[in-house]
Chains A and B, each alone.
Chain A
Amino acid sequence: MNPDHITFDNVSRFYGEVLGVNRITLSIPPGITSLVGPNGSGKTTLLNLMTGLIHPTEGDVRVLGIEPRDPRKLFRVVGYSTQFDSFPRGSTGRQFIYSFLRLFGYPSSKASVLTAEALDVVHLTDAADRKIAGYSKGMRQRVKLAQAIAHDPQVLVLDEPLNGLDPLVRAETLNLFRKFASQGKHVFVSTHILHEVDMISDQFILMSNGYVVAEGQIQDVRSEIREHPMQVTIRCKQPNALASKVFEMEHVVEVRLHPDGKGVLVLTRAADLFYRRLNHIAMGDFGIESIAPADDTVKSVYEYLIGEESQR
């Protein structure tokens, strides 16, 4: 067991007869990990298991080697921003964070300083002394984020943290996640905003119906999906000639001209072989400007493995 990892060892959780998650085995390294899946797939159950808010029916969960049943150790290293959009009655943003930090045993002065810092990070300083009940959805998301990061945890667990955030704050929040990850910390994000997952994730976990359908780095997962040909976009000056040339390869199943006439989309069943052959082709007079995979995104993988209809 790696003490730097978050591990799930054959973990199952049932709610009576209803399946929450089943036989989950994972070992998650530091970095940004995105948890994606349709509604009811077990994402929140997984996060709650990780943070001890619920306990597994079977199996064992460890967060940096700590058992989630031990809150005294766990929450020194874990900060969790839940999906629950409810707060202690009558609290202001500052009171909420300050009270939470006092539960850690911090003296008043330190709790005040940490509160101010956390609120500053999420740009809520001006609204800190207003009642949370009067906050917008985005502000409530930010105050939850502030609560999660206030004690500078090693593991940041975030359930749909980008919901309700405007584009500017969303970009700043993603930068914050990157900053956390760059310090060797865990950022574990449950989200359904798939294109942003691609932008920030070091690895992802795809869940469906309580099972982990896929996990790892997106390119690795994509290359394992053999029933869907890999898509590669090639921008070039001679798309017609290039289309003809690449279609000579037996593993290429389809070549489409780009609508703007400045490139082709190639669908191949052997991406590695295709890239090797492409190195030779690129030396020809096709004016190739760029080569980029077109569907090794979380969105594509999600659609291939779970189906577009189930996407949130």
Chain B
Amino acid sequence: MGETFAIKILSRAAGKKVREGEIVFVEPDYILTHDNSSAIIGKFESTVPGGRIRYPERVAIVLDHVIPAASSKHASGHRKVREFVREQGIANFYDIGTGVCHQVMPEMGLVKPGSIVVGSDSHTCTYGAFNCFATGIDRTEAAGIWITGKTWFKVPPTINIDLTGAFTAGVSAKDLILTVIGDIGAGGANYMAVEFNGPAVGGLRICDRMTIANMGIEMGAKIAAFPANIVTSKYYEALDIPITSAIWSDYDAEYARTLEYDLENIVPVIACPHQVDNVVPVGEMAGMKIDQIFLGTCTNGRVEDLKTAADILRGEKIHSSVRMLVAPASRAEYLKAMKMGIVEDLVSAGAVVLPPGCGPCLGAHQGALAPGEKCLSTANRNFKGRMGEKEAEIYLSSPETAAVSALSGKICDPREVLK
């Protein structure tokens, strides 16, 4: 039998043949941290006072979670990061306004096919979209890797998700990944790698791959990865970065489990409170009044997502009973949206545009909810209290569903508008 992506990439990194269940030590190509770097700096300095980062060129820091600073305490954290970056000579530092870390890392060419990336953020799995072995770690481990340059992984078994067909009108990548999570559950891929294979992979755009890989963690996956193909080649050509290390599973790889999805059969879905695997067809929730709509995040804040919404809202007005917040995933995506007239369409319709960053997703600032309010969000988590208020409800959907629902202030099936 052949080998999976996880076995092959970890074998290459460890410099020996590895097998499932084995613990291997590897040196990640990049270590991402964000606003939480200020806490990581404290750990680094107390462990190796006056020490230097082992490989500063492998460290990337993006300030994105609470930007601009919401309080003096947040501002002090940001300042500590800026000072440390200067002291340690960290070149890959991206200050507020550059964008959400998971959008910025690929944009800056820091995640390359076949590389191993860790980040002190659970959605680091997003880089699986680019054929990376990418996964989340905690702050302590990030401090440890700054010091030693290495960490360990247990070689995971793999779930193969085989995709055929093409999406129908009004249905998109978010509906697919929510459907998968609803099917296998919040812990369905715990400790496992997930590979996306099959003929439909060739038809997915980079933004679709990112939406899908981003939510791998919501089913517990260690990584969620795609093969490099013509779509990836074009992305890296535009960045003028040669692809030299792409790697993928053998055609006869042995999987723990294979799931098959025909994209033709995927329908618009919503994850209801307070779990991402609480997934139902949008139709079941149609007509439910919502108070806030949030379009953005590392899951669905790219220009394609904003365009989807603008195409629906152009020349229309958001219903007076609902407010709509839009946070572009990065400055680059924001600029593209401005040049395309998308920002004008959204603002004219009544949307409030936030700076490129995580925005209200994590509940620390911007667009918090009041008790009892309902938010329809294109983000990746609807946990109780996630948006700052435990008595609020968060529903997760595609940008299509979010935008059509903005027109009536009630949850609406996008296929009723997009035919």
A and B bind:
no
Q: What residues make up the interface of A, taking CB atoms closer than 8 Å to B?
A: none
